[in-house]
């Protein structure tokens, strides 16, 4: 069995944020291989994160992000279990990253359960019509439509979007890893995204139409 040095344990702890004993056990299990030890910690951490998902998260922070010289603004509320964790640099960085994600990727919902059923059905209908227009066999039309709706979820649902700072991960992957590292349940509760002037042109057009109607034009 490979001898596990204190320096290796310390290095793994600094890189992963896991406890000293957890790092030592992971290195022992991995036969001293640093990369394999990281994988061991990650797998155990993700399993632990799943168990924490049902715990109450009523503390946390609200973060803002302003982009393009004041053209886009975001507010996001992210919850954790304790005020102590809410004040840590790691949690604050996570919340800021999520605000940046929302500014850049423009999600409409936090999770897919929030997407209205009529909107999902509309996307399915459009996808079916497109597949039929392309003369796809009836047997695979539904499969194509379902696949396009899954893609739609990845575009409009925050937790399913590719993370802007590391696009091989989803936002949910990043949250799960944060839970494993921090040791508390973390949930995105809500967000608001503002774009300067958004909707004003449409309102002005509607107003002009109303004026024209009253004037009999």
How far apart CA 66 and CA 55 sit, in angstroms, is: 32
The reply to whether 6-52 and 59-113+157-202 are identical in fold is no
Task: Please give the pLDDT value at position 194.
Answer: 95
| Per-residue pLDDT tens digits for 116-175 | 999 999 999 999 998 888 888 888 888 899 899 999 999 999 999 999 999 989 999 899
Distances (CA, A) of 171 to 37, 123, 143, 186: 24, 23, 26, 12
Closest CA to 67 of 96, 91, 88, 93: 96
Residue-range domain boundaries for the chain: 6-52, 59-113+157-202, 118-154
Q: Which CATH superfamily includes the segment(s) 6-52?
A: Ubiquitin-associated (UBA) domain (1.10.8.10)
CATH architecture of 59-113+157-202: 2-Layer Sandwich (3.30)
What's the chain's average pLDDT? 85
End-to-end CA distance of the chain: 90
User: Is the domain covering 118-154 a CATH 4.10.830 domain?
Assistant: no
């Amino acid at each position: 069995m490979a001898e596990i040095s204190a320096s290796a344990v310390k290095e793994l702890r600094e890189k992963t944020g896991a406890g000293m004993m957890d790092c030592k056990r992971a290195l022992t299990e991995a036969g001293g291989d640093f990369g394999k030890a990281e994988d061991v910690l990650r797998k155990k951490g993700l399993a632990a994160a799943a168990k924490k998902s049902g715990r109450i998260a009523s503390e946390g922070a609200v973060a803002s992000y302003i982009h393009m010289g004041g053209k886009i603004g975001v507010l996001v509320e992210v919850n954790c279990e304790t005020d102590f964790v809410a004040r840590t640099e790691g949690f604050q960085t996570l919340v800021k990253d999520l605000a940046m994600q929302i500014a850049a990727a423009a999600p409409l919902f936090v999770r897919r359960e929030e997407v209205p059923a009529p909107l999902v059905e509309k996307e399915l209908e459009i996808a079916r019509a497109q597949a039929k227009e392309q003369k796809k066999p009836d047997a695979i039309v539904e499969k194509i439509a379902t696949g396009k709706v899954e893609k739609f979820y990845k575009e409009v649902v925050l937790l399913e979007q590719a993370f802007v700072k590391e696009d091989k991960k989803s936002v949910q992957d990043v949250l799960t890893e944060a839970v494993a590292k921090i040791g508390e349940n973390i949930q995105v509760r809500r967000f608001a995204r503002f774009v300067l002037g958004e909707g004003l042109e449409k309102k002005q057009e509607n107003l002009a139409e109303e004026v024209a109607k009253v004037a009999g034009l």
